[in-house]
Chains A and B, each alone.
Chain A
């Protein structure tokens, strides 16, 4: 038993020395997450402000002028006047404006006499999400202007039903608040799988695995000594990320730090486990790195619910997302950061992460052991 401990400590020390001598690992573990968080935190935003919109008013009068002024006041638009629809259409083709508001010559007359005069809004639909948000913002500016116009003219505006919206967890709808936790997940997926994907494959490729196996060390000991140091590095990176998300991007951390740490630890174990499994199964650094990239970064980016809402995906894809640890971690982080300790969300996701970690580590151990014989 004591010799086992000594062996294990020696292995552990060997791994640390290896990490220490190859500064790349420390760079990945701690520096990379910080840099990436900085880039992503500033780079990823879904809040469109000051969208350029072409405005064509065929029959200008005080009423239309007052609406265009309302458009100018809105933080979502920066209107650009055009004399005729032809010029505005050309600007849209050149990508200079994202949308065109076209008020026909009889707009005011029809609007004042019978109401419901059409406001023609042409949007560039290529970026469908921005287009849809733009339509929503425009609707908002229009309703506000109607209200304001009714108040100043002394004629009460008759809106039968009015929506009073309450947005929970993120009242200002700042995309940065929900993206910051997601960015952490992308970071940690990268770090976890990358750190380990190459470790075991490298030992097989260089033949040092045979050397290790001829010693009395057991496979489990090798795997634990490989996971441990990288786990410590990864948790360091995680801490850097959380501090930056809170201090720099103002993400509220409503839940408890302990739950956050537990979730991070389980997630790191599962992504380290996946890295170990990939490299033990493939034993070639080239293949291991290909698979690591394919199986980690893009799924964490696209299938985790980080940017794209899982609920809107087609059924088969939605089931597929359950295979990725990043999915559970994104849900956990978004809940812990923005909603607090909601146990009915946190517990099932923690269990899922635990099962994934156990699955990956167990299989990594099984595969490496079998290949011994």
Chain B
């Protein structure tokens, strides 16, 4: 019996890896995606183009503007000379920001502060706009804090000194790349396992399998184990790339990470097998995988925080194994967590894994019976 399952595992792995194209599809895209998305998926706001409309053009206004030029977040694209041009450059997305300094800026600054500067922001991407405004306020705040003592005036009572734990420079790459480790593992496992049974059904080899002395649960196991091996191989590959290519700090317990991702991939394989056994054709299996995959990624906290979702949606996410895997990956990578901190995340993933694998076995047995 053990030999039978072993034979099935070898057959599955051969089916995946012997064909050059399918071998490439399993190994290539996850790595390519990791590299591309690791660089692309950033919330950091860098080198944002802005234009200046300086009606006064005095020493003081230039002093303030120099602070914008010195900031890494901004990149001056040029000067404009009329109100009408503001709409032109913003509507056409030439710049995201226009800094408008009025004609009486210095006079107001010295005679009747506060002197106002106007900042016009393109709000089409509200996240970028919010962060940009934060940067603008920070720069003006700094200008104020240094201007006041120079002119012998007592500054406001306090000044904000923020600092960040775990990710001191607030690089979103440190947040996204470990997330991709779990997300890409999900994509690969769901696609390889999710299509496997449906494909065998469509080309007729499932019937051949069923006339062998193998029991349904043996066949299911013969699908689960190769999928698991492929997923763990994928995890290792992506993990190494995250550490050595992206130089994401890894300060936690490696074993705690692997145990978590093992539970995760079993849960995903279970879901994939259910989809695959329910589907009559590969097209249906693909659709089913997609129907699971895209909400699973969106409602996981991968890109937008779970806390921002309505409460009902937050309950729904409790069914999503990716949600728990992301917590494990990020806490172990960045916060230095070990088993003591992440074990509560294992339980729901283990539950999802056992329920879905049992259900897959049930569906499969009924389908073939």
In contact, A127 and B157 (Cβ under 8 angstroms): no
Interface-facing stretch out of A210-218, A223-231, A287-295? A287-295
In contact, A126 and B334 (Cβ under 8 angstroms): yes
In contact, A118 and B46 (Cβ under 8 angstroms): no
For the complex, give the distance between the alpha carbons of A139 and B102 in Å: 25
In contact, A28 and B161 (Cβ under 8 angstroms): no
Residues of B within 8 A of A286 (CB): 22, 195, 199, 282
Residue count of chain A within 8 Å CB distance of chain B: 116
For residue B313, give the distance in angstroms from its CB to the closest CB of chain A: 5
In contact, B282 and A285 (Cβ under 8 angstroms): yes
Beyond A136-B137, A198-B282, is A126–B294 a contact (Cβ under 8 Å)? no
A27-46 contacts to B, CB under 8 A, are: 27-28, 32, 36, 39-40, 42-46
For the complex, give the distance between the alpha carbons of A140 and B131 in Å: 12
Minimal Cβ-Cβ distance residue in A for B308: A45
Interface-facing stretch out of B169-177, B217-225, B238-246, B351-359? B169-177
Residues of B within 8 A of A111 (CB): 157-158
For the complex, give the distance between the alpha carbons of A197 and B282 in Å: 11
For the complex, give the distance between the alpha carbons of A133 and B45 in Å: 12
Minimal Cβ-Cβ distance residue in A for B303: A307
For the complex, give the distance between the alpha carbons of A117 and B145 in Å: 11
For the complex, give the distance between the alpha carbons of A161 and B113 in Å: 7
In contact, A294 and B29 (Cβ under 8 angstroms): yes
For the complex, give the distance between the alpha carbons of A169 and B93 in Å: 12
In contact, A119 and B115 (Cβ under 8 angstroms): no
Beyond A163-B137, A311-B48, is A128–B160 a contact (Cβ under 8 Å)? no
Interface-facing stretch out of A174-182, A242-250, A356-364? A174-182
For the complex, give the distance between the alpha carbons of A85 and B140 in Å: 31
Interface-facing stretch out of B147-155, B253-261, B266-274, B361-369? B147-155
Q: Which of B37, B40, B165 touches A122 (beta carbons < 8 Å)?
A: B165
> B85 interface residue, CB < 8 Å from A?
no
A188-204 contacts to B, CB under 8 A, are: 190, 194, 197-198, 202
Residues of B within 8 A of A320 (CB): 36, 40
Interface mask (B65-91 → A, CB under 8 Å = 1, otherwise 0):
000000000000000000000000011
Residues of B within 8 A of A190 (CB): 290, 294
For the complex, give the distance between the alpha carbons of A24 and B64 in Å: 61
For residue A288, give the distance in angstroms from its CB to the closest CB of chain B: 9
Minimal Cβ-Cβ distance residue in A for B118: A164
Dominant SS at the A interface?
helix
In contact, A46 and B304 (Cβ under 8 angstroms): yes
Minimal Cβ-Cβ distance residue in A for B174: A128
Beyond A44-B298, A194-B287, is A174–B164 a contact (Cβ under 8 Å)? no
Q: Which of A146, A194, A334 touches B290 (beta carbons < 8 Å)?
A: A194
In contact, B308 and A297 (Cβ under 8 angstroms): no
For the complex, give the distance between the alpha carbons of A117 and B45 in Å: 29
> A313 interface residue, CB < 8 Å from B?
yes
Interface mask (B316-333 → A, CB under 8 Å = 1, otherwise 0):
000000000000001100
> B109 interface residue, CB < 8 Å from A?
yes
> B141 interface residue, CB < 8 Å from A?
yes
Q: Which of A133, A157, A287, A308 touches B40 (beta carbons < 8 Å)?
A: A308
Minimal Cβ-Cβ distance residue in A for B98: A166
Minimal Cβ-Cβ distance residue in B for A123: B164
> B124 interface residue, CB < 8 Å from A?
yes
Residues of B within 8 A of A130 (CB): 305
For the complex, give the distance between the alpha carbons of A199 and B157 in Å: 69
> B136 interface residue, CB < 8 Å from A?
yes
In contact, B113 and A159 (Cβ under 8 angstroms): yes
A-B contact pairs, 8 of them (CB 8 A): A32-B287, A39-B299, A124-B166, A126-B175, A170-B129, A173-B130, A314-B39, A338-B123
